[in-house]
């Protein structure tokens, strides 16, 4: 006996799923080392300027350290953004999460979906868009060149597979 629910479960099962996150070369441990080195260097210079009597300069070293900390804090905050992309027989879903945690979801019918890739001769992939007849959204704008190539190959292959099986 054929179970109709089994057909629905296989239709909803993703053929392709990926979570895209920005690359950050400096982890938590490396960040601590950078701040420790910066703090030690600032303290040495603060001591030197205090000894020679140029005490107003000390405040500028504090501002430099606060500026460095702020820049790395913003960089790590932006690393929290991500995109979840999935393709099933019934749906192409793109969920975008901002650094603050807000989510935007875009859904497309896979049979009407086009995956557009803009290339530059020297750079490679410049942008990627998923679009249907009415809507469009960009994907992976924060990825590096190699990751864009890998994702574009896998995503376009999965989309073609779903369209052939349709």
Residue 136: helix, strand or coil by DSSP?
strand
pLDDT for res 1? 43
pTM of the model: 0.74
Give how far Cα 1 sits from Cα of 4, 5, 6, 37, 143, Å.
10, 12, 11, 70, 48
Q: What are phi and psi of 6, to 5 degrees?
A: -65, -35
The two tokens of residue 50 are 């205090």
Cβ 133 vs Cβ 112: under 8 Å: yes
Q: Any long-range contacts for 128-133 (C-beta under 8 Å, 24+ apart)?
A: 128/152, 128/155, 130/92, 130/94, 130/106, 132/108
pLDDT for res 26? 83
pLDDT for res 10? 52
pLDDT for res 140? 92
- Tell me the pLDDT tens digit for each residue of 42-60: 889 889 989 999 888 888 8
The domain 82-165 is classified under which CATH number: 2.40.50.100, 2.30.29.30, 3.40.50.720, 1.20.1250.20? 2.30.29.30
Residues 6+ apart with CB under 8 A from 58: 46, 49, 50
Q: What are phi and psi of 57, to 5 degrees?
A: -65, -25
- Taking the alpha carbons of 87, 93, 98, 101 in that order, is the dihedral positive or negative? negative
Mode of pairing for the β-strands spanning 124-131 and 114-120: antiparallel
Per-domain residue ranges of the chain = 28-78, 82-165
* Ranges under pLDDT 50 in the chain: 1-2, 4, 6-9
pLDDT for res 11? 54
């Amino acid at each position: 006996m054929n179970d109709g629910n089994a057909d629905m479960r296989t239709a909803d099962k993703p053929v392709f799923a990926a979570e895209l996150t920005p690359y950050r070369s400096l982890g938590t441990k490396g960040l601590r080392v950078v701040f420790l080195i910066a703090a030690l260097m600032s303290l040495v210079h603060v001591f030197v300027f205090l000894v020679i009597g140029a005490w107003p300069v000390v405040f500028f070293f504090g501002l430099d350290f606060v500026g460095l900390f702020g820049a790395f804090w913003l960089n790590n905050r932006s690393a929290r953004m991500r995109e979840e992309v999935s393709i099933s027989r019934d749906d192409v879903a793109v969920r975008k999460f901002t650094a603050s945690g807000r989510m935007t979801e875009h859904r497309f019918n896979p049979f009407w979906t086009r995956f557009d890739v803009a290339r530059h001769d020297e750079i490679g992939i410049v942008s990627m868009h998923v679009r249907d007849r009415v809507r469009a959204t960009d994907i992976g704008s924060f990825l590096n060149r190699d990751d864009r190539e890998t994702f574009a190959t896998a995503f376009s292959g999965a989309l073609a597979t779903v369209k052939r099986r349709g």
